[in-house]
Amino acid sequence: MTLRRVPLLAGLVVLLAAACTATGRDGAAPAPPPTTTPATTAAPPAPAATPPAPADATTAGSWRRTWGWAVPGAPARVTHPVRVPVAPTPGEPLPVLVAVQVGDHPEEGFSRISFAFRGPTPSYRVGYVPQVVTEGRGAPVELPGTTYLSVRFSPAQAHDARGGGTADMPPAAIGFPTLLGWAAAGDFEGHLSFGLGLQPPDGGRVPVRLGEATRADGTHVVSVDVRRG
């Protein structure tokens, strides 16, 4: 058998290649390849705490519009049949107002006043009037602004059997851009009335919207929304 000689130059090339593989460019031995560690999926962060709801907030998803947006030429009316008495004695015979709340929503372009009732939702009527007057006597109700809305619920009451008030209420001066203030206008023979004082930018009338919701505690809420400008 004839042996094949490997040329000396080819042998040197092979040795040099082996040396380059064994060392780095700086002459130091290369670091061993990093050990592959299975990735660990981080636990998802705990959900952020829900910020407290604004004062006029209602249960998410329950709100529904019942009228508007529009400028009511005649009073807007929403009717709910209510069988009286709504609760046996010693309970109140009518839906009872438990809270009046206000809130401003500049990003959405409106301000809101809400009326929360224990018991069924009463019927209500909302409209522009030259002057808000009290139930029964018809005395003028003092309100800020240049334009006035009358809000009237029936059947409803805001007092208990002893004549004491049943509702938590905000200050009369609201101070929002258009909705400046509110006032009670009477709680008489099943009719519960309020007045809203507005200051529209052009001195006229702004669109309003009416809506309803049921809160987690079972109270029924009627909201009156007023355009901010």
Helix/strand/coil (H, E, C) string of 44-58? CCCCCCCCCCCCCCC
Which residue is associated with the tokens 């009477």? Answer: 186
pLDDT at 110: 97
13 within some domain: no
Q: Structurally, how many domains does the chain consist of? A: 1
37 within some domain: no
56 within some domain: no
pLDDT at 47: 39
pLDDT at 21: 39
**Residues of the chain scoring pLDDT < 50:** 1-55, 57-60
28 within some domain: no
pLDDT at 90: 82
pLDDT at 125: 98
pLDDT at 229: 73
Which residue is associated with the tokens 């206000």? Answer: 102
Which CATH number goes with the domain that contains 193? 2.60.40.3500
Phi, psi of 112 (to 5 degrees): -135, 140
Domain that includes residue 190, residue range: 61-75+92-227
110 within some domain: yes
210 within some domain: yes
6 within some domain: no
